[in-house]
Structure 1
Amino acid sequence: MTDLVTRPAPPLPRRAAPALLGYAAVRVLGLVALAGWSAARDKSALTLLSARWDSLWYTRVAELGYGYEVRLPNGDVHSNLAFFPLLPWLERAVSAVTGLSYAHAGLVVGTLASLAAAWGIFAVADHAYGRRVGVCAVLLWAVLPVGIVQSMAYTEALFTALAAWSLYAVLTGRWVTAGALAALAGLTRPVGLAVVAAVWAAAIASCLRERRRREPAPPFARRRSAEASRGARLRPRALGMTLAPLGAGGYVLWVGHRTGKGPLGYLDVQAGWRNGFDGGYAFARFVAEKFTSFPSVPAGVGLIIGVASLVWLYVVCVRQGQPLPLLVYAGAVTALALCASSYFGSKPRLLMPAFPLLLPLARALAGARTRRSAAILGVVAVASAVYGAFWLNGSGPP
């Protein structure tokens, strides 16, 4: 990890321009494909992006506040307390300023957040491996098969932006900024705990490194000065570690108080949605069921290949010596996504914030000739745009 004395400024827009322009081009391609596909099916692309599935729940929070719930015939209770508040707060703010509906305000937030996320991913990759890898990392994130979610009134782009810039702040020794952004990420999604874990792991590791490097105790006359200097270095880390969990922890405790069920009240809310953390048992059973009938066998094989690919990418990240906060963050996001008992069709988008897993691929693309890399990314971008249009016009939530 970068020493604390090295504190480069965030990359200027001019340095990040190739990444941001390429990202915008991929997103426009996806929106054009969605508009064409939706028109052919007599659907509104704008409605699909701003007022469907989870985006409806966020706009209800913005409009009505918390307390709205739906009781299903099987007894399950879907409460909007399951949805963290930062996106609805921003929707309210944008709506108040612009006069847009909450749904359309969510699209504005999502669009700006996706650009901030692309810039943050570039900043992290550029800092760790150089500008060319940064550009490739952003483009790989843009062309993910479920990349269309980055253009929706969802929280994935907002969370990734906060997470990426928090990680960049960690890498450059800006501990208070890292903690504050981690707290905001924790107000966005439950997986904000992954950002908290990254901040804590990096801060503890840096303290341990400093302790190992510490010189023999100075003479008494200089001891107080050395202790004061050490305290000045430790205070920002301690403050960052204190700030980091306040967002997620504060919201979870508030939900527990509101429901009258104590600190674990949020888990009961999630249980009403049949969400929880079971160590991957439900997902493993879901995959195994694909092999009970021949038509679904290819899907089962594909899921196994997908999970194996994620594990392989993480192992490569470790072998390449990726900075500790990136490893902790990506590992936590991946584990929470795969080991949750939530709707299995949502797992691809739940994995989207784990952008450090793309860095080995970005390094490989950056090492190839520009024409070859551009051709690969172009083909994948077209495939992603078509798949996103098909997927968003389907019946199941992303």
Structure 2
Amino acid sequence: MSTSTTTTPARPTRTDLPRPLPLPRSALRRALPALGLFAAARLTGILLLSAAAWRLDRNPLAILGTSWDSRWYTGIAAHGYGRSLAFEDGVIQSDLAFFPLYPALIRLASAVLPTGPTGAALLVSWVAAAAAAVAVYLIGERLHGRRAATLLVLLWGLLPHSVVLTMAYTEPVLTALSAWSLYAVLGRHWLWAGALASLAGLSRPNGIAVAAAVVVAAAYEIWRGDRQGRAAPAVWLAAALAPAGWGGYVLGVGVLRGDPLGGYFAVQAGWTSRFDLGLGSLRFVKHLLRDPDQLSFAMVLVIVAVALLLFALFVLDRPPLPLLVYTAVLLLITVGGSGFFESKARFLLPAFPLLLPPAAAMAKTRPGAAVLVTVALAGLSFSYGTYLLTIAPTPL
């Protein structure tokens, strides 16, 4: 593929996976400008958040590392599983709802670095966010060229809720593993794709999205490559590996709770989180439209609506099959799940392929227009991120 910013590369279709990609090490140099812009965007957000936190006599690193779910992750890293909160109505919220990979990485970082769990958690998230940005760039470059890929990374780092990428949360880890798994499957590096998808499934419940992408891509490869079922062993192994992390944890919690198939979902129900095809979300949206509530709820509604519009544009763009499946499953889980409406924007952070259509469009516009859009989005991202962590009373 040409790496020129003025040459549009051949576009893969959903029925033709691209040929093997270059090794990540050889492509890292091309990704450095995008990574630098991403780091500058997130660092600017941290500086503005810090200024607001200091005015409120609060520690910005404590805000980033100990807000809401961050305490659960660092608690698991420090003490293992076993904590729960019981409420008067009989509801029990258990830490088994949180997948184990991120706490394990925090524990490992704490063991080898002179920092406590909170510092280790932030370091893991920041490194993961940088790794994700590189993989997002490589995928964007493969599909639309360097300029669009750079804009793709920048747009992802300037989403209204991208402050989460600098917090002690799991979205950076999930996005990094998912993006690199998708990068691998696009190049038919099947064992890498399956192994990374399995790790992604150990990081968050919606990590099943990348497992679905790898399994569907492998199934199509088997069907297309050999109608008699004699596909390469690596393809079959990738299909088996991809869902193993997610399935293993869900089944493990189920066995621990005495209900192998339903135990984990009972734990999630204690957090009011269940999949009901969006009925609970629809009821909340109706309430929100009748009685406007907090700014964060309204912003989430706008973000989800924009995501649905971007998905329609994404489908019309005929993306590669793995990206299509991955994005569709993430969107389905977000829209179809009930509970914690305020977190839905965060759940969509790993859905970076939704930004491919606007990134490609911006790459073709005049530089002044692209700069104007970027500046406007940056202002929204920095101000809204600061609001979420210093003023908003609702969790992310």
Same fold (TM over 0.5): yes
1:78 corresponds to:
93
2:76 corresponds to:
61
Tell whether the 8 Å contact from 1:253 to 1:262 is kept in structure 2 after alignment: yes
- Which segments of 5 or more consecutive residues in structure 1 lack a partner in the other structure? 213-226
Instruction: Decide whether aligned partners of structure 1 residues 14 and 377 sit closer, same or farther in structure 2, where only a CA change above 3 A counts.
Output: same
Q: Is residue 205 of structure 2 the alignment partner of residue 190 of structure 1?
A: yes
For 1:1-398, what aligned pairs fall within 5 Å after superposition?
1=12, 3=17, 5-10=19-24, 12-211=27-226, 231=230, 233-293=231-291, 295=292, 306-393=303-390, 394-398=392-396
Per-residue deviation at 1:40? 1.2
Helix, strand or coil: the match of 1:263? Answer: coil
Per-residue deviation at 1:298? 9.6
Q: Deviations over 1:248-288 (max 9, x none)?
A: 01111111121222221101111111111010000000000
Q: Deviations over 1:104-135 (max 9, x none)?
A: 10000000000001111111111122111110
Aligned equivalents of 1:264, 1:89: Cα separation in 2: 25
Instruction: Decide whether aligned partners of structure 1 residues 276 and 126 sit closer, same or farther in structure 2, where only a CA change above 3 A counts.
Output: same
Instruction: Decide whether aligned partners of structure 1 residues 192 and 297 sit closer, same or farther in structure 2, where only a CA change above 3 A counts.
Output: closer
Alignment-mate amino acid for residue 69 of structure 1: S
Aligned equivalents of 2:264, 2:245: Cα separation in 1: 14
Alignment-mate amino acid for residue 152 of structure 2: A
Aligned equivalents of 2:135, 2:244: Cα separation in 1: 22
Q: State the superposition RMSD in angstroms.
A: 2.0
Per-residue deviation at 1:209? 2.6
Helix, strand or coil: the match of 1:12? Answer: helix
| Between 254-263 and 348-357, the greater mean CA deviation after superposition | 254-263
| Between 245-254 and 295-304, the greater mean CA deviation after superposition | 295-304
Aligned equivalents of 2:311, 2:77: Cα separation in 1: 37
Tell whether the 8 Å contact from 1:288 to 1:300 is kept in structure 2 after alignment: no
- Which segments of 5 or more consecutive residues in structure 2 lack a partner in the other structure? 1-11
Helix, strand or coil: the match of 2:338? Answer: coil
Identity across the alignment (%): 41
Helix, strand or coil: the match of 2:93? Answer: strand
Q: Deviations over 1:30-89 (max 9, x none)?
A: 001100111111111111100121010001111111111111222211100000000110
| Between 297-306 and 362-371, the greater mean CA deviation after superposition | 297-306
Tell whether the 8 Å contact from 1:37 to 1:390 is kept in structure 2 after alignment: no
Helix, strand or coil: the match of 2:290? Answer: coil
2:5 corresponds to:
none
Instruction: Decide whether aligned partners of structure 1 residues 12 and 300 sit closer, same or farther in structure 2, where only a CA change above 3 A counts.
Output: closer
Instruction: Decide whether aligned partners of structure 1 residues 300 and 158 sit closer, same or farther in structure 2, where only a CA change above 3 A counts.
Output: closer
Per-residue deviation at 1:346? 0.6
| Between 90-99 and 364-373, the greater mean CA deviation after superposition | 364-373
Q: Deviations over 1:207-254 (max 9, x none)?
A: 233247xxxxxxxxxxxxxx9xx84x5211101001101100111111
Helix, strand or coil: the match of 2:109? Answer: helix
Helix, strand or coil: the match of 1:268? Answer: helix
Aligned equivalents of 2:297, 2:66: Cα separation in 1: 31
Helix, strand or coil: the match of 1:391? Answer: helix
Per-residue deviation at 1:4? 6.6
Alignment-mate amino acid for residue 290 of structure 1: L
| Between 375-384 and 57-66, the greater mean CA deviation after superposition | 375-384
Tell whether the 8 Å contact from 1:287 to 1:303 is kept in structure 2 after alignment: no
Q: Deviations over 1:173-212 (max 9, x none)?
A: 0111000000000000011110111001111222233247
Aligned equivalents of 1:32, 1:260: Cα separation in 2: 48
Aligned equivalents of 1:62, 1:138: Cα separation in 2: 30
Query: How many equivalent residue pairs?
Result: 380
Larger Rg: 1
Per-residue deviation at 1:8? 2.3
Instruction: Decide whether aligned partners of structure 1 residues 379 and 307 sit closer, same or farther in structure 2, where only a CA change above 3 A counts.
Output: closer
Per-residue deviation at 1:387? 1.1
Helix, strand or coil: the match of 2:310? Answer: helix
Alignment-mate amino acid for residue 145 of structure 1: P
Aligned equivalents of 2:301, 2:81: Cα separation in 1: 39
Tell whether the 8 Å contact from 1:29 to 1:382 is kept in structure 2 after alignment: no
Tell whether the 8 Å contact from 2:194 to 2:237 is kept in structure 1 after alignment: yes
Per-residue deviation at 1:301? 7.8
Per-residue deviation at 1:302? 6.6
Helix, strand or coil: the match of 1:397? Answer: coil
Aligned equivalents of 2:245, 2:298: Cα separation in 1: 39
Per-residue deviation at 1:306? 4.2
Per-residue deviation at 1:382? 2.5
Tell whether the 8 Å contact from 1:290 to 1:297 is kept in structure 2 after alignment: no
Aligned equivalents of 1:55, 1:305: Cα separation in 2: 25
